[in-house]
Amino acid sequence: MKTNVGSGDRGITSLLSGERVPKSHARVDACGEVDELSSVLGACAAALSEAHAGLQQEIQGVQSDLLHIGAWLATSPGSPTRQMLRAISPGRLREIEDALDRLEAGLPPLQSFLLPGGHSTAAWAHIARTVCRRAERRVQSLAAEAGETGIESAEGILPYLNRLSTYLFALARYCNKVQGVPDITWKG
Amino acid sequence: MKTERLTPFTTRVRDRTWLSEKAFQVALDRPSGFRFLPGQSIRISNGSAERDYSLACAPDSEALTLCVRRVPHGILSTFLAQAPLGAPLTFTGPHGYFLFQKSPHPPVFVATGAGVAPFFSMAAAGVRGFTLLHGARAASELYYEKRLRAASALYVPCLSEESAPGCFNGRVSDWAREHLSPRAYDFYLCGSREMIRDVTRLADERFPGSLVHTEIFH
């Protein structure tokens, strides 16, 4: 696959559905947030050792989901292109919830607020969680601006980002645990 | 969570026809269960390299046809150019969203070189009424000219490095700048980066409100 070069030099880009829009467009903005989230997740996976190959694969699965979400967000409502896109299925949401359960099963109960940090892998997971929440806000805003509230939700994107944020919080705690680094609790 | 996995199809080289000194058409056996839409591509692997190629055939064709430009020192294009008939390959797909969509705007297809492949597939599937700006260095590189000329409402061969009767002498973007009436179009661009950049900029400047769909080939 070759990369397009130069068509956006003047601050205009193409949506997947073909429209030329400014790069500050809310749809482009939402895609950018999802892209940033995927990049941070990549950093988290890269910081994990080979001993956690299963977790790395799990994170890559999320990154794959985020590409599908980005494609959906980059397509205007009503475009025939959307018929080609794969939404987040209820089954996939359940898989995220199952993964969350697996992570939490090995964690001690949460006794207080945590300060993001600890091992570098946990720190990356916390950053990913906050970027995920920002992406969620952008998608919500986009849906409202486009007058299509409920569409992104119905396609599973908002529920997915909501579940993913929770998963990433658990992932951060799990990373600290497997690295032997205690979570940093808030002393008040 | 499961990691997404694309299951490869297995196929064999069925036939090969040279279209010019630089490009050839290769037909692959069609695996059962493989379906695609005109404009989509497949990712071919010979075990040591993989590349994307648009399908240049109708969705119901018996074989899967690709239009391949032989790239000097290109691993996969050289393999496809030299592989004996029957040689095994794997591919994943179909990939991509470069699909023709009906619209109130007139469709303008713009291709350079082997980038004409998806438009051949669309025409083979029955798409009509389009303008096709077909760019090449020389007339011998206007692949699928007869079939595309017959299917299009307006076929404009544009030659950048030689003159030939009935051909525009210049780039596709030059023709579009000089001859396309100012209005919104649905542009479908497949070919070199340079062409895609030039025509996209032209669309921004001269044809506001147009849709621009792109696919890059070399």
Confidence bin at B217 (pLDDT 50/70/90) = low
Query: Token pair for residue B54?
Result: 């648009």
**pTM for the whole thing?**
0.88
CA distance A164 to A108: 20
Q: Is the pLDDT at B218 greater than 60, yes or no?
A: no
Instruction: Extract the residue ranges of chain A whose pLDDT is less than 70.
Output: 1-5, 146-154
Q: Could you give the 3-state DSSP secondary structure of residue B84?
A: coil
pLDDT for the residue B4: 35
Q: How confident is residue B2, by pLDDT bands cut at 50, 70 and 90?
A: very low
Interchain contact, A61 vs B2, CB within 8 Å: yes
Minimum CA–CA partner of A6 in chain B: B197
Query: What is the average pLDDT across B39-57?
Result: 92
Check CB contact of B210 with chain A, cutoff 8 Å.
yes
pLDDT in tens, B157-206: 999 999 999 999 999 999 999 999 999 999 999 999 999 999 999 999 99
User: What does chain A look like in DSSP terms, one character per residue?
Assistant: -PPP-STTTTSEEE-TTSBEEETTSHHHHHHHHHHHHHHHHHHHHHHS-GGGHHHHHHHHHHHHHHHHHHHHHTS-TT-GGGGGS----HHHHHHHHHHHHHHHHTSPPP-S-EES-SSHHHHHHHHHHHHHHHHHHHHHHHHHHTT-TTHHHHTTHHHHHHHHHHHHHHHHHHHHHHHT---EE---
- The verdict on a CB contact (< 8 Å) between B193 and A14 is no
Q: Strands B107-112 and B131-136, how do they pair?
A: parallel
Per-residue model confidence as pLDDT tens digits over B130-145? 999 999 999 999 999 9
Residue in chain B closest to A83 (alpha carbons) equals: B97
Work out the mean pLDDT of chain B and round it to a whole number. 93
A110, B30, B132, B183 from B65: Cα distances, Å: 59, 9, 21, 35
pLDDT tier at B117, thresholds 50, 70, 90? very high
